[in-house]
Chain A
Amino acid sequence: MERQMVRPDPSGLPSVYERPGTLTDTPFHYCPGCGHGVVHRVLMEVVDELGIQEETVGVAPVGCSVFAYNYLDIDMQEAAHGRASAVATAVKRMLPGKYVFSYQGDGDLAAIGTAETIHTANRGENILVLFINNAIYGMTGGQMAPTTLLGMKTTTSPAGRTVETAGFPLKITEMLAMLPGVYYVSRNSVHTPGAVRHLKKAILKSFQYQKENRGTCFIEVVSNCPSGWKMTPLEANKWMEEHMFPLYPPGEIKVPK
């Protein structure tokens, strides 16, 4: 492919920040300000640092990140909507020595794929589940998600989500943390450098735990969707802090004793 390992620096100065070698040199198709791209980058930084490109297989289902395989320079499987954790389960069972992760949106993981999500976690499959919660269906144009906040306007809750018609936002991460098969649960974001560093640590830990066959590691990233939310990237991040964080507070939710 078009991947370059290190860009020569015309100034001759040492390069202190560059694209991870396992991220392809393909421009992201994500909207400006979208969190997906940052999560991709952090994930591949970890793959680079651990030197596990050859040992890693990813699964990305339908959703805005369905094209993740265009960017992540590792073996990848695209999964049907909602089925990423089932697909990842089988990949891991067939290749127990590999690092396997799924990368799923909130519609995928917490609506159509709820059963697969819960049972994968309940079996304690030795995989990392990366859950991108932007409280909306990005790919299909901004419909209500199971994680959509009360009062939040989407194309299918034009007057704002109400309990009467759509019930409460689903805190699936807390639900999963209750399962004994789940070893590590962490909620993150990628809207500040500190948050990005925290996510990176969480991913590093998860791969370490996976190597030790500890069970399912689950990382939520509370993210944004400037397009679906109809906000500028800055507004979206501010709105996320003010409205998403109270319901989905970042932090370590389940850590090994």
Chain B
Amino acid sequence: MSDLRLMKGNEALAEAAIRAGCKGYFGYPITPQSEILEYLALEGRSRGMVVLQAESEVAAINMVYGGSGAGARVMTSSSSPGISLMQEGLSYIACAELPCLVVNVNRGGPGLGTIQPSQGDYFQSVKGGGHGDYRLLVLAPSSVQEMADFVFDAFDLADKYRTPVLMLADGALGQMMEKVAFREYNPADHVVAKPWATTGKPGTRERNIITSLHIEPEKMEQINLHLQEKYRLIAENETRCEHFHTEDAEYLIVAYGLAARIAKGAVEMARAAGIKAGLLRPVTLFPYPTAAIRRLADMVRGVLVVEMNAGQMVEDVRLAVEGRVQVRFYGRMGGVIPAPDEVLGALEEMVKEHAAQHEEVY
């Protein structure tokens, strides 16, 4: 860890991409993430990166396909409407097993919506988004430091599993300034052989073909089984979450990204008020920390899920909890950021309700 800098989340992410050895960036401007393209246009180009402003997000994601297929570390970034446009391409990329980084700096929707921060793209990010049975490996940063750190992790994971990795941030994480330290990272130490890449066929090997087309159903089923096995492996090895005061928690909050930061504040306020609250923050949204949540569900009296949407991740929490305890939801939509005392209010209500039920029973 060296050179501590004060940076916007978007800029930290862009700087990390250069340091991670990203060779190609393809993107189209959209608020609140245009700083990524702008930063790279200035810094990336002069440091040996191809930075191409595409004619659309559709073109951008297909450039990522081509660039990754050619064996290079490549990425794109956008915000919600642009990520919607990329879904067909992402499905192709997942099937053709092309490693790449895609960044979504989530803004409020649906529609053109608002440029304010939101977590409304959770379903789209973790349930497939495009057509067919595929997954993205999804990392959810919750600080400017993680906006940088996860870029290195994302490229390494993408190469390791030959899979697209999505960083799901939000407008606040992209825009806010915090201190950030860039990790020591020499891309040369992280090079993964890509014998499958279309780099030109020498006489010594068969031609390489990047495709997602397998017309015989039996072949296509094999491809699907292979992908599913890969996702199982990813779930086994790469599931990540952060615990905050969960050891002795009686009430558990589950939140990711910016919502988790707010929830941390609420946990501290609750503890000061005598409520034993804890937070579990999923760091990977796919794979999801189902087992960790299930374990905690056996210990606590209730679970509160906090999101900046109408209640999306809460479905995955309910699947993890499997009815062991009550799961409540608190969310704000459309770009409104919940305040810690709102979250505390929701927590206190849950505590009260539990106490009331408790009285009824006895």
Contacts and interface: CB of A to CB of B under 8 A. Distances in A.
Interface of A: 1, 53-57, 59, 66-67, 69, 72-80, 83, 86-91, 93-95, 98, 115-116, 118-119
Given A90-B74, A93-B50, A76 B55 contact: no
B209 interface: yes
A76 B209 contact: yes
A74 B201 contact: yes
Given A89-B52, A94-B50, A75 B198 contact: yes
Contacts of B67: 90-91, 93-94
Given A94-B24, A116-B59, A55 B70 contact: no
Contacts, number: 130
A74 B56 CA distance: 29
B200 interface: yes
Contact count band on B: 35 or more
A69 B211 contact: yes
Contacts of B241: none
A55 B200 CA distance: 5
A73 B207 contact: yes
B62 A116 contact: yes
A119 B96 CA distance: 25
B4 interface: no
Interface of B: 23-24, 26, 50, 52, 54-56, 58-60, 62-67, 69-72, 74, 88-89, 92, 96, 198-203, 206-213
B207 A76 contact: yes
Contacts of A89: 52, 63, 66
B194 to A, nearest CB: 12
B306 to A, nearest CB: 37
12 contacts: A1-B206, A78-B212, A80-B62, A89-B66, A90-B74, A91-B198, A93-B24, A93-B52, A94-B70, A94-B74, A116-B62, A119-B55
B92 A57 contact: no
Looking at B52, B55, B69, B198, the one whose CB has the most chain A CB atoms below 10 A away is: B198
B58 A83 contact: yes
